[in-house]
Amino acid sequence: FFFLSVFKEVDLNSKTNRTEHHTSTILADELIVRRGQAFTVTLKLTQAFNPDLYPLTVVAMTGDYPSEKRGTKSCFGIPDSVTRSPSAKAVWKIELEKNSSPTTGILTLIITPPAITPIGQYTLTVKYRDQETLLATVVVLFNPWCTGKSSVYLLYKERQEYVMNEQGIIYRGSKDYIDSQNWDFGQFEDNMVNICMKILDVNNKHKKNPADDESARCNPIYVGRVVSAMINSQDDRGVLEGNWGSSFWGGVSPSQWNGSHAILKKWYNTFCSPVKYGQCWVFAGVMCSVMRLLGIPCRVVTNFNSAHDTDKNLIIDKYHSDTGVMPKESNDSVWNFHVWVEGWMKRPDLAEDGKYDGWQVLDPTPQEISDRVYCCGPASVNAILNGETALKYDVPFVYAEVNADCVDWLIKADGSKVKISSNTSSVGQNISTKSVGSNKRMNITDTYKYPEDKMSRSLQMDTTHFKQSVHVSSLFSQVSKPMNGEDVSLKLVLHSEKNTMFESFSLLLALAELSIPVLVPFSAYHEGMVQNDSMRVSAMVTDKDNDNNPYLTATNVVLINPQLTLTVSGEVRLNLQATVEVVFMNPINKTLKNCSVTISGSGLTEDMEEKLQDLPPNKRLRVQIPIVPYKTGKKTLIANFDCSIFRYIKTSCTVNVKP
């Protein structure tokens, strides 16, 4: 008996399909397509194709429990006479391309997964004349290029920025000194498809009910919430372990990371063990990478003076002693900055008219529990703007992050409390993200909150604020730029509306100013600054005639690091070696020990670290590192210098890789 297969050959037309589906830059062997858009597969038979006599049927399946009812299995064919469940969801379509040659058995199949297809890895099998074979293995992603009811329109340049751009900028520092850090998202780097699918597969909802979880992956709202939970490892096998302490033993300081791919690859290669360590900007950077790979437009957002309101009363209480030290811990806090992401999606669960569509806050940093899980969002930015705190998900929490009032209290020696001040506008400042198509900072504060004189917050919260008669105003000003490695010079300026007596100063006359020099020596701060780039300086001013009327002023001083330069010499070409040069000058009278330089950049090189010799005082180091670029186009190379005193000084340069 001799068996002759009717199937001869399959061509996935990968190059054409991936170009048309905007997946050609993903480093992967699989055919990767986007839902709601057709792709072609060429099937060659050993005989003529006669659909009237022998129909051709295809079955697409994903997950461990494929089901037509759940949309994770679809049966379709030519002609479309396939018997399918009456409750079948997400039914795929197939037709013959016009240039097919049925008489010779050469069929170009046009296959379309619908715009509501659950994302994931699919197996497509084909059946003809009672014979069955594998047609294709396909990864289906969300499709921001798809128009229709399932998507919200974005301009071409916005899709290029929020889906396709592998490099970005994350803003840190303080509201008065905003620092930018290049971040390598690397969402299209090696194995990222498998890593992101693994993130979905090990989430707790999949563990509890895999069939429902796989079906729900048709919904970017659901997927965004799952990813938000899985980037942190607080209650699952998530990617990152957070650490806000001073010791990072057993892991990597959050400030050392330059991008997402190294973190995600380490998590994947260590059998989903949390990577140590992350803080808010690292959590957000990694989540942005995963969202962009999955096809959900995403950007990283920084909120300066960000409130954490644990008791949900929209008031942040801070306590001070008469020396300025905080004597009492508060569950509430205000961070000089906090970083989250925004995902672009529809919100039909909130309104059918599209009022809440568009940008949604998602925060993977583990702060508070949401539905028994450490995750946050998606919270509609439009709902946050208008104070619609009854809407899901986590709108009240994010609303407080940008709108809470700050109340400062003085704890006197006898334990009594005196209210120092109440500020309704200090929280939620300079909310920032990278601009589309450039490295400029875009201030998006007005998308989160109205100007103070137009705010309708009195309608949202019933809180009466104590107002005191202010006779003295105080502020810190910088005498010179605060350079890391040098003494920091400030002055405390007091302005009085009446004659006021102060301890250590005889008298401040009405309408006069008093300037008090404040010096913070490098020797006093450098050990405490090893893992940080800012310090907080505060002063408590007490009127001796009325000690129940204290005045508090504080400032965040962001230190400017010594210059690190990075250059790439000559013309840079694909797959040819280029030379990177890093230069650093030691500006202090101390020898820098444990020196190293790390470079990274998607399309240019994997993370490469060079251990260096100690650097004597006022000496320059110069190190050259070879790289071999593996992608064309404009890429960002990031360098990170580390030593015993100056930790994680970063710089970057643009490299144009030619074919």
In a domain, 539, yes or no: yes
C-beta atoms surrounding 310 within 10 Å: 14
The span from the CA of 404 to the CA of 303, in Å, is: 13
Q: Which residues are catalytic?
A: 280, 338, 363
- Find, among 196, 281, 202, 213, the residue nearest to 242 by Cα: 281
Task: Based on the fold, state whether residues 554 and 579 are members of the same structural domain.
Answer: no
| Assigned token pair, 658 | 């030619």
Question: What's phi and psi for 419, nearest 5 deg?
Answer: -75, 125
Beta carbons of 542 and 324 less than 8 angstroms apart: no
Q: 431, 457, 483: which is the final residue of a domain? A: 457
| Within-domain flag for 2 | no
In terms of residue numbers, what domain contains 47? 7-141
Separation of alpha carbons 317 and 335, rounded Å: 13
CA distance 418 to 553: 16
**pLDDT number for residue 627:** 98
Residues 628, 519 share a domain: no
**199 domain residue, yes or no:** no
Q: Cα(162)–Cα(168) distance, rounded to whole angstroms?
A: 10
Residue 328 CB partners (closer than 8 Å, separation 6+):
319, 411
CATH number at residue 439: 3.90.260.10
* Residue 312: both structure tokens together: 């949900």
Residues 6+ apart with CB under 8 A from 361: 301, 340, 341, 342, 376, 377, 378, 379, 380, 381, 384, 394, 398
CA distance 351 to 338: 29
| Cβ(181)–Cβ(29) below 8 Å | no
Q: Is residue 213 part of a domain?
A: no
DSSP 559: P
307 and 442 in a single domain? The answer is yes
Name the burial class of residue 487, with classes exposed (0-12), middle (13-18) and buried (19+) by CB atoms within 10 angstroms of its CB.
Answer: middle
Q: Please state, in angstroms and as integers, the Cα–Cα distance from residue 633 to each residue in 411, 577, 580, 657, following that order.
A: 59, 16, 17, 5
Phi and psi at 367, nearest 5°, equal -115, -55
- In angstroms, the CA 180 to CA 433 distance is 10
Domain count, the chain: 4
Say whether both 608 and 541 belong to one domain. Answer: no
131 and 163 part of one domain: no
Assign residue 49 the CATH number of its domain.
2.60.40.10
How far is 374 from 363, CA to CA, in rounded Å?
10
- pLDDT score, position 460: 43
Please enumerate in sequence order all residues whose Cβ is within 8 A of that of 146, keeping only pairs 6 or more positions apart, or say none: 34, 35, 36, 37, 115
Last residue of a domain, one of 533, 558, 583: 558
For residue 633, count CB atoms less than 10 angstroms from its CB and return exposed for 0-12, middle for 13-18, buried for 19 or more.
middle
Are 597 and 541 within one domain?
no
The length of the chain is 659
- DSSP secondary structure, 62-106, as one string: ESSS--TTTTSEEEEEESS-----TT--S--EEEE-TT-BGGGTE
The pLDDT of residue 461: 38
d(CA 545, CA 499): 10
Would you say residue 195 lies in a domain?
A: no
My answer on whether 239 and 109 are in the same domain is no
Alpha-carbon distance of 470 to 501, in angstroms, equals: 15
**538 touches 622 (CB < 8 A):** no
Query: Are residues 445 and 581 located together in one domain of the fold?
Result: no
Whether 189 is covered by a domain: the verdict is no
Query: Does 541 lie in the same domain as 579?
Result: no
Q: How far apart are CA 137 and CA 60, in angstroms?
A: 9
Residue 76 and residue 513: Cα distance in Å, rounded? 82
> What pLDDT score does 323 carry?
67
> Both tokens of residue 630?
């593996």
Q: Chain centroid to CA 161: how far? A: 14
Q: What are residue 251's DSSP bridge partners?
A: none
Measuring CA to CA, how many Å separate 557 from each of 99, 535, 581? 68, 5, 31
Question: What are the two backbone dihedrals, phi and then psi, of residue 576, each rounded to the nearest 5 degrees?
Answer: -115, 145
Same domain for 554 and 421: no
Helix (H, G, I), strand (E, B) or coil at 510: coil
From 113, 141, 169, the end of a domain falls on: 141
Give start and end residues of each alpha helix (H) in 256-307. 261-269, 280-294
Residue 17 lies in a domain: yes
Cα 421 to its chain centre, rounded Å, is 34
* Chain-centroid distance, C-alpha 129: 51
In three-state secondary structure terms, 274 is coil
Residues 500 and 355 occupy one common structural domain? no
Q: Is 161 helix (H, G, I), strand (E, B) or coil?
A: helix
Domain assignment present for 196: no
| Alpha-carbon Rg for the chain in angstroms | 29
How many whole angstroms separate alpha carbon 251 and alpha carbon 268? Answer: 16
Sheet holding 405-411, edge to edge: 315-320, 405-411, 417-423
Q: For position 3, what pLDDT does the model report?
A: 58
Distance, in Å, from the CA atom of 594 to the CA atom of 592, rounded to the nearest integer, reads: 7
391 and 438 both lie in a single domain: yes
**Mean pLDDT by groups of 10 residues along the chain of 659 residues:** 80 98 96 98 97 96 97 97 91 96 97 98 97 97 88 92 98 94 98 98 98 98 99 96 93 96 98 98 99 99 95 88 68 92 98 96 97 97 97 97 93 84 92 98 98 54 38 79 92 73 48 82 78 79 74 87 95 97 96 97 96 97 97 97 94 97
